[in-house]
Amino acid sequence: MDKAFCNEECLSDCNCQVALFRGQECKKLMSLMRYAKTARKGFATMIIKLQNGSSEENTTMVGKGGNGEVSTGVLMSSLSVSSFGLVALAKATNGFTDQVGKGAFGTVFKGVLISKSSRKVVAIKRLEKVIADGEREFGNEMKVIGQAHSRNLVKLLGYCHEGTNRLLVYEYMTNGSLAGFLFGFGTKPTWEERIGIVLNITKGILYLHEECETQIIHCDIKPENILMDEQNCTKIADFGLAKLLMPDQTRTYTGFRGTRGMLQKECRNGCSQRQSDSCQLDLSVFLDGELDKLVEDEDAEKIEVVKMMKLGLWCIQEELYVRPSMKKVCLMLEGTIEIPLRPNPTSSVSWLSVFVFLAERN
């Protein structure tokens, strides 16, 4: 473990405001004052979150404590988002000409933000239908992504709110969406790569559900909303449909939103729960419905294929209480806990139960 890893660990934890790095130990704290009351001798690196989105650079301060020891503080400036003017974003996108994507609520353009010391490629999402849905989506995006920091989420860099104009500025993901990676004409991902993709998505959803201070339900997990960086690491994007849950609350009521055909019955009825993301996770990876083609022309272990089919079967159960939490899904994918026997074959997805049963016998 090094200082950079400790920095990232604190940044990705909503409850971490201060981290102390000493030797090989990274201690995360909720309050700077808690450290101030601690009288420990010796050198330590103190990493402090600052709400300052004006710079992408980290600032280092060095001072001398009362006991004569030198303490170093690394001030992380990437905690909050920046505010951009409409003219600046129009210039960055060359008049909004380089369109790279379009969704139900807005269009995404590629742009370049240039300063005296840097040149940063970004993705700028211009929201439409502002008076109706776009206005609500903008509020959701700002509240959710502004406080969510995880290596498995697309980072929000800033926003524009001028008159009726609503724009969001994201880090640019060079390799496009998971949809293109899975269903495009290029090289298909191997079975091992697919497992890694599912695990990264699961960790992102787990962060939203349980690790962020404000619990979040995404409600529109699909290949188009999973983006790939230059290392083909998958990150969750588009929080416009996110449901914010207060502590001890499992349901939140809302209007019908999301990708038609992918929302479960509980969503269509106006009620969404964390387990809805479990079902959409499964649909995102096995969307083509022909599971045998996942390992076409590969020497994959049949037992691994059946294991993933079993896990997928659990995730798409109609009864909410039957579906596993994202934490359990993550543990099953990592092999920490066993995947239980398949659900009752008389359920609403009995056709898939029969498919798994036949695969186990062959």
Q: Which of 120, 142, 171 is the last residue of a domain?
A: 171
Q: Are residues 353 and 211 in the same domain?
A: yes
> What pLDDT score was predicted for residue 253?
36
Output the domain CATH number for residue 327. 1.10.510.10
Q: Which of 13, 220, 238, 282 is catalytic?
A: 220
Q: Are residues 207 and 310 in the same domain?
A: yes
Q: Are residues 159 and 221 in the same domain?
A: no
Q: Are residues 261 and 320 in the same domain?
A: yes
Whole-angstrom distance, CA of residue 149 vs CA of residue 204: 10
* 326-335, 339-348, 352-361: which is most confident: 326-335
Q: Is 220 a catalytic residue?
A: yes
Q: Which of 76, 100, 128 is the last residue of a domain?
A: 76
Q: Which of 119, 143, 171 is the last residue of a domain?
A: 171
Please count the other Cβ atoms lying within 10 Å of the Cβ belonging to residue 53: 17
Q: Are residues 26 and 68 in the same domain?
A: yes
Please count the other Cβ atoms lying within 10 Å of the Cβ belonging to residue 277: 31
Whole-Å CA distances, 234 to 150, 164, 286, 361: 12, 32, 16, 34
Specify the number of domains making up the chain. Answer: 3
Whole-angstrom distance, CA of residue 187 vs CA of residue 297: 13
pLDDT in tens, 171-212: 999 999 998 888 888 787 888 888 889 999 999 999 888 887
Give one word for 196, left, alpha or beta, with left for phi > 0 and alpha for psi -120 to 50: alpha
Q: Are residues 120 and 105 in the same domain?
A: yes
Q: Are residues 218 and 316 in the same domain?
A: yes
Q: Are residues 236 and 348 in the same domain?
A: yes
Which residue range is the domain that position 263 belongs to?
Answer: 178-361
pLDDT in tens, 281-338: 554 544 444 555 556 555 556 677 878 888 888 888 878 888 888 899 999 998 899 9
> What pLDDT score was predicted for residue 346?
54
Residues in the annotated binding site for ATP: 125
Q: Are residues 207 and 330 in the same domain?
A: yes
DSSP letters spanning 50-114: ----S-SS-EEEEEE-TTS-EEEEEEE--SSPEE--HHHHHHHTTTTT-EEEE-SSEEEEEEEEE
Q: Are residues 183 and 324 in the same domain?
A: yes
DSSP letters spanning 34-61: HHHT----S-EEEEEE----S-SS-EEE
For 113-116, which contacts have Cβ atoms below 8 Å and span 24 or more sequence positions?
113/88, 113/169
Tokens of 228: 């790939």
Q: Are residues 101 and 144 in the same domain?
A: yes
Residues in the annotated binding site: 125
Amino acid symbol at 137: E
Dihedral sign of CA atoms 15, 17, 18, 24 in order: positive
Q: Are residues 297 and 270 in the same domain?
A: yes
Output the domain CATH number for residue 124. 3.30.200.20
